[in-house]
Structure formats: C-alpha cells, structure tokens
Structure 1
Amino acid sequence: MDLKHLTALVTVSETGSVTKAARLLRVVQPAVSRYIRALEDEVGVLLFERTPQGMTLTPAGEILVERARRALLELERARAEIRPDRQHVQGIVTLGLLESAAELLAGPLLESVGRQHPGIDLRVLSAFSGHLQQWLLDGVADMSLLYDLASPPSISTTPVLRESLWAVAPPGTVVADDGAVPWGSLGRQRLVLPVEGHGLRTLIDQALHTAGVEPTITCQTNSMLVQKKLVATTGVWSVLPAASIAEDVATGRLAGGRLTGPEVSRTIVLALQRGIRVSPAVEVVAVEVVRVMRRLVGSGAWPTAHVVAQPG
C-alpha cells in the first residue's frame, strides 16, 4: 500500500470530504479521489459511502483507517527518532493522562519536557483510566498514567503516588472547620456522581456503604467537567480525586475537603507495555513525568497526595 494513499484515506475519514482533504494535503481533488479508488481496488471493498452529506466510512473502511493511522504514526515516530541530532534526545512520545490529573499536571509537564528535552514532540491524550489502558494496549499511547486497577500481564506499572478522595461542594460552602469531611455528612446532600461501573464510582459506593450512608443521587455522568459544573451552579455535591479540584478550590470556584471515616485513596501508576522496545525519548519523558508529579506533591500543589516510595 502506498503511503500517499493511506494518508489520503485517514485525512478523508477525518474531514468527511475529498475537497477538504485535498486542501489539507495540498494536492488537487482528483488526486485524492484516485488514491481512495486505488485503495478500494487493492482491498476489493468499498471504504467510503459517498453521500450528499459527505464521505462516510464503511465498516471495512473503519478497520483500515484504524490500522493506517497506527502505521503512519509509527513511521512518523521512526523519522523523528532517527533524525540526526547529537545534542538532544528526540522523537514523538504520546502520553495518556488521567482526566482527573490532566488540569494539574499537563502544564508543568509540558513546560519541563520542553525545557529539558526540546527535541521531543510530546503529545498528550486525556481520558478515564479504562480508555487510557486500552489506548496503551493498542499502541496509541507510548505510556500512560492509570489508577491501580487490575492490569493485564502485558502492562508494566510503577506506582507513583497515592491521593485522597475529596468532597466537592458549591463555592463559598464551609465544608468543615478542619478541612476534613466525614463520609457520613454526604447523606445530607444531593449528589452528582460518576456513572455506575466507573472505577471511581465503585470506590465511592463502597465508602458510602461502610459509612452507613444512603445517598441521594440526582445525576450520574461520565464527565468530570459536568460534575464540577453542576456542583458550581446547582448546589449539589460530588466526590472527586484531589488533583481534579485543587485549582478550583484554591481560586474559590469550588469548595472541598478530604473525606474521612473511612479513609479512601487511589494509587496512580505509570504504565508501559511489556516486551516492546522503549525509545530513549519515552524513557526520558517517563522520568520527567515522575519528577514533575513528585514536585507537585512536595510543593503542596497536589493536596493530600503522598509519593509512593520505590523499593531499593
């Protein structure tokens, strides 16, 4: 398969239009159409449905686009890694960040990597732990932060820190005199929580059960941003990891405090695939991720988090 053809395939799938793809690729529209037809002739199936609304992938097209995108990314990584530069480690590194930690970690990490390793093209993906784990297994991400869920044998994890869960309250709320919020007090509040089946929701349900609380749940969502928005505007409370609300509490956009009785925390691990070559670029970014996380804990910017001591 020709790389120009695969590039055209991915670009048309992303834009939904041959015309837009041609503009992005800086070629004439008939050329893009020829590339797509050549691929369809080669694989023997239609890759797109041509409709008045645009180009829509067929099931076969979706499969080929997924594989083509990975192949093009691997080639791009190889080019970046072998490009001559005696002064800097270089290459493309795709890092998965937990949605709950991205707001706190992304800025300092990008600044640190850019300063220490200017030859690295760092790309950041953000999602829940389950999605990040799948992206790591699929090769979409080179490494990822995950919660300490059961991981398959193909993933190697290094614990980095433990963080507490916090009660999240509307701005201006005095959650507790000493900053600690008993789980039992959540029984008096209307709550917005993650959807059932989410790893965080499982922890919350276990803690509420231990505390003997029958919660009043007014909304369930798979979006942390929706949780925070509803708390800020509707008077409900929620439960989130400390990192996800640290800046909001510091600026007064939300109120919050560490949940106690029982103490509930989660371990964040740095995960990589086992058995694959780890490039120098991935190695130095992994070191930088751990260094920045520890610095945030040490400075107090990551509240109620504790660094996990490494053996040896």
Structure 2
Amino acid sequence: MEWQQLEYFQVLAKIQHMTKAAEKLSISQPALSRSIARLEMELGVPLFERQGRSIKLNRYGEIFVKRVHNIMREYQDGLHEIQELINPNHGEVYLGFLHTLGTNVVPDLIMHFRKQFPNIHFVLKQNHTHSQLKQLKSGELDLCLLAEMNVEKPIEWMELWREELYAIVPISHPLADRKTITIFELANEPFVLLKKGYALRIQIDEALNQAGLTPTITFEGDEVATVAGFVAAGLGVSILPDGEEINPNRMAKIKISDLKLERVIGMAWSLERYLSPGAKQFRQFILQYFKNKK
C-alpha cells in the first residue's frame, strides 16, 4: 500500500465522482481508477458502489475512510511538529546540566536566551557528568553543561569557564577566620563530600590522593546544597566552588594555598546526532555569553 493511494482514496471519497476527483488530483481518470483498484485488491474488499462515473462509499469504504482521515491528520500534525522543531525561532532544546549549576547558572542562561527567542522551549535534566554523557550519546540530550572529562569522538567538549575550589568550614570552626590554609591542615578533619561518580568528587579524591591524604568521610550527598548544609551544621568540612549555597553567615570559604584547585565547566554535544536549529541557536548563545564574560 502506497501513501499516494490513500491520498487518492481520500479525495475520491469526498468528491464521489471519478472524473472530477482525477481533475482535482491533476491525474488522468484511468490512473485514478487503477490506483483505487490496486488499493481494493490489497484490502481484499471493494470500497465503492459504482454507478457510471459517480461512485459512493460502501460500508467497507465508510469504515476505511475514517481510518484514512486519522492517518492523514496524524501525518499533518507530525509534519507541523517537525517544522516547528526545525524552525530556528521555535522548537525544543533538551539540555542536561550538573546539579550545582541549577541554582543560578542555567536559570540565568535561559532567562537571557528567551529574551531573544521566546518561542524556544527547554526540556531540562539534572545529572552528574557520566550520566549526561550517556544521555548525550543515546540522543536523549542535545547539549550538556558538565565538568571537564576525557571524552572521545563523537562527543565534542568545549571549555566555558573555570571556578576556584575552596575549603568550606563551619563559621564556628577554629580555621574560619583564616584567609588561606594548606590542604594538610584539613588532614584530620571529617569531610562531607558529593557521592562517588560525580565529577567534582573525582577531582577532590584525586587532589587529596596526590597530597597523600586519606580523609575520613562522614557524609556523602547528591547536591552541593546538601553538602553545604551538613558543613553549616558542623558535621564536617568540604571542598566546594563558591556559590549561593555557601551562606557566609554559617560557613567560611578559605583559599587553599598549596594546591591549585579549580573546576572546569564546559559544554558538550554529539557530532553524530542531529542538532535542531533551535539547539544550534542556544549553543551559539552559550559560547558568546561566556566569551563576553571573560
């Protein structure tokens, strides 16, 4: 069964006259007759009662035409949706990002972007770096904002910004008044960190390991806000980027003088996946946004 046969059948069912339907379709009457005959042969039943050149749907035709109308409507709806998606000023962007970027970075980006492109919508997914990369490869995401990782083609990663990591201690901690400390001054402190698998946790584990330290980890969390909350409650110290989660009334951030600790955040996308015009617009906007901030 061909799509063209369904189109011909739908027009003929509406006009109910072979010659007039052929004229409407800009084909010859014999060509239309052959197409309908092939369709009836494939279905195994006649669809029309023929009275000369005038024809009328029979009971099989009445049943089938309803289905054809639904098929055509679904096709048109799908075509419309796709056209909306590939319109550079419309469509959806599937964006993944780290939990730590959900407080202000991603909301600010989308707010500024939608001032220029108000009809582009977002589907947002927060996850750690490894999970985002899997979703990117599978096509579940268009773009990701994640920490620097070793990625291989077809994944493309581009640095956007860097942020220093600080020792974070409760405001009542003996070290809270210090401007700088060494990493070794935290050697005997209980630590509150993100769970294993998060890029930030991997980075901190590597830094502590290189310094020859094996910290005592009292709590592990899924989000920076959770880790910061435990630190503020006096349940340990941590190493985190500065952000709104670090309440200066409850915690102190201290520069670590003997280690250059910074988190590198970038954007990733797949070179093998189709990127809609809307997603390309947002990718270019992100690159320009952080270029202007440097």
CA deviation string 1:129-187 (max 9, x = no partner)? 11111111121111001222121312111111222222222246563543x34211211
TM-score (norm 2): 0.64
Higher-Rg member (1/2): 2
- 2:249 aligns with 252
Task: Give 1:257 deviation, angstroms.
Answer: 2.8
* Structure 1 pair 224–278 and aligned structure 2 pair: CA distance change class (3 A): same
* Structure 1 pair 115–156 and aligned structure 2 pair: CA distance change class (3 A): same
CA deviation string 1:110-136 (max 9, x = no partner)? 210111111211222211111111111
* Cα separation, 2, equivalents of 1:100 and 1:181: 24
- 2:208 aligns with 208
* Cα separation, 2, equivalents of 1:151 and 1:92: 25
CA deviation string 1:237-279 (max 9, x = no partner)? 1122x2xx41133653532233331212232221111133322
**Which of 263-272 and 136-145 deviates more?**
263-272
* Cα separation, 2, equivalents of 1:229 and 1:107: 22
Q: What is the root-mean-square deviation of aligned Cα atoms in Å?
A: 2.7
* Structure 1 pair 194–124 and aligned structure 2 pair: CA distance change class (3 A): same
**Which amino acid in structure 1 is aligned with residue 120 of structure 2?**
I
Superposed counterparts of 1:181-196, under 5 Å: 181-196=181-196
**Which amino acid in structure 1 is aligned with residue 249 of structure 2?**
G
* Structure 1 pair 195–90 and aligned structure 2 pair: CA distance change class (3 A): same
- 1:81 aligns with 85
* Structure 1 pair 157–77 and aligned structure 2 pair: CA distance change class (3 A): farther
Aligned partner (choices 235, 255, 259) of residue 262 of structure 1? 259
- Asked if structure 2 preserves the Cα contact closer than 8 Å seen for 1:175 and 1:181, the reply is no
In structure 1, stretches of 5+ residues that fail to align are 1-73, 299-306, 308-312
* Structure 1 pair 216–283 and aligned structure 2 pair: CA distance change class (3 A): same
In structure 2, stretches of 5+ residues that fail to align are 1-77
* Structure 1 pair 108–223 and aligned structure 2 pair: CA distance change class (3 A): closer
Give the match's secondary structure for 1:234.
coil
Give the match's secondary structure for 1:204.
helix
- Asked if structure 2 preserves the Cα contact closer than 8 Å seen for 1:96 and 1:125, the reply is yes
- 2:27 aligns with none
* Structure 1 pair 169–114 and aligned structure 2 pair: CA distance change class (3 A): same
**Which amino acid in structure 2 is aligned with residue 80 of structure 1?**
E
